[in-house]
Every structure is written in structure tokens, then in C-alpha cells.
């Protein structure tokens, strides 16, 4: 696959949508072909699964059901959208991916990380993001922002302790593999947040250029 997969992660209220749109504008300015997507979702079928996951309902969803639905949506997303785009040489900018599963279902729900890893291998084979931006913020601040958007979804109804565990898992994963992750302080003013992101993208593009030169594939700068 000659494309690149960039994922943007973080708890509710970190500003993912705003910054993903801005990242895509940066890629467009550089003439880099890309598609923008999200998880859960990204295809018609996966979006239906998203609604199952996010809509509050009387019947309580088990943690295992939640995990399996997440990976079912991801399998469809990969097959229908992400893998074909990467094979075409396009970059994919995705609002959440498997790091969110480790953070929410692993850290937040307390499911076995080895189970998540097994499902990751089954559904994704060797596919992993090339770059993951983690927009980091204190849970109380993020939730206050999220609740200003309207009625909370099934995840936004969770207690702050849940999001504290989610955030901690994100940070632990980033610390374990610093070459793939960039932690961005999302509590700063937007101009400062985007300066951090631009610097991270620049470094990533430089690494991509080095790999492209090694394999003689076309490359872009940022």
C-alpha cells in the first residue's frame, strides 16, 4: 500500500472535527490526494452500526457486544473504504481508529487488552496507522465542551472516571511507541494546537519522503 493512514484520537470535546478539517485543508494545499472518514462509521453499513453503539437505549449493551460491534464496523470500513484508498495511493485521515478501541473498550470498560489485540490482528492483519495524533485534554474540560453540543450520546453519559481511564490509556500507548504518536495539548488556543499539529505533520512528511526515496515511490511535502 502506497497511501498513508493518519488517525486522530482523543476523548470527547478535544476538537477532533475542527482539527481534522484543518489537516485535510493542509493536505489539499500540498496536492496530496486524500479521503476523510471516521469510526465507527465511514460506510453506509458501518454508520448503521455506529448508531447502535452511540444511541442510548433501555436495553443495556454488554461490553463484549460493544467491542464486537466496533470491530464489525471496522472490518466493513477497511474492506469498503480504507484499504482501496490506500492501494490507490491516497492518504486516509480518520477520526478515531483502533487506538480508540484500546482506550474506550480496554481502558474505559476494562476489557482484556489481549482480546482487543487478537481482534485487531484478525480484522486488520498488519495494517496499522502511519501517524496517530492524540488530542489531549483534561476530561472535565472536554466533557464540558461536548455537553454544549446537545444531548449526550451513550458514551458521553459516562462518568469522568471512565474518561480518565480512557485518557490514561491513550497516553500510555503514545509513550510506548513515540515514533507513531504525537500528543497534542488540546487545552491550548486553537492557533497553538494547530501549530503543534503542523510541526508533527511536517516531521511525518519528512519521514515519508525518506521512505519514498528508499522505495522510489512518488512523495509529497508539507
Cα separation of the two ends of the chain:
20
Q: What percent of the chain has pLDDT over 70?
A: 93
The H-assigned helical ranges of the chain are 16-29, 44-54, 63-77, 83-87, 98-101, 113-124, 139-147, 160-176, 190-215
Please say whether the structural domain 4-191 has been given the CATH code 3.40.50.2300: no
Of 29-33, 46-50, 129-133, the poorest mean pLDDT is in 29-33
Global pTM? 0.91
Is the backbone of residue 137 left (phi > 0), alpha (psi -120 to 50) or beta? beta
pLDDT for 214: 63
Q: What percent of the chain has pLDDT over 90?
A: 83
Domain ranges of the chain: 4-191
pLDDT band at 1 (very low <50, low <70, confident <90, very high): very low
Mean pLDDT, range 49-64, rounded to an integer: 95
- Residues across the chain: 222
Amino acid at each position: 500500500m502506497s497511501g498513508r493512514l493518519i488517525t486522530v484520537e482523543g476523548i470527547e470535546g478535544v476538537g477532533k472535527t475542527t482539527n481534522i478539517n484543518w489537516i485535510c485543508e493542509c493536505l489539499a494545499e500540498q496536492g496530496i490526494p486524500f479521503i476523510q472518514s471516521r469510526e465507527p462509521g465511514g460506510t453506509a453499513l458501518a454508520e448503521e452500526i455506529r448508531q447502535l453503539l452511540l444511541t442510548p437505549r433501555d436495553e443495556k449493551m454488554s461490553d463484549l457486544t460493544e467491542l464486537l460491534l466496533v470491530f464489525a464496523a471496522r472490518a466493513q470500513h477497511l474492506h469498503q473504504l480504507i484499504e482501496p484508498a490506500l492501494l490507490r495511493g491516497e492518504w486516509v485521515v480518520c477520526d478515531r481508529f483502533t487506538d480508540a478501541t484500546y482506550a474506550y473498550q480496554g481502558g474505559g470498560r476494562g476489557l482484556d487488552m489481549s482480546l482487543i489485540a487478537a481482534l485487531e490482528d484478525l480484522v486488520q492483519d498488519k495494517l496499522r496507522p502511519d501517524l496517530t495524533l492524540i488530542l489531549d485534554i483534561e476530561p472535565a474540560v472536554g466533557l464540558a465542551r461536548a455537553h454544549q453540543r446537545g444531548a449526550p450520546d451513550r458514551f458521553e453519559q459516562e462518568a469522568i472516571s471512565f474518561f480518565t481511564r480512557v485518557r490514561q490509556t491513550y497516553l500510555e500507548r503514545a509513550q510506548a511507541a513515540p515514533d507513531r504518536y504525537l500528543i497534542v495539548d488540546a487545552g491550548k488556543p486553537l492557533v497553538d494546537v494547530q501549530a503543534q499539529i503542523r510541526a508533527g505533520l511536517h516531521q511525518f512528511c519528512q519521514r515519508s519522503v525518506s521512505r519514498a526515496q528508499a522505495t522510489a515511490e512518488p512523495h509529497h511535502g508539507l
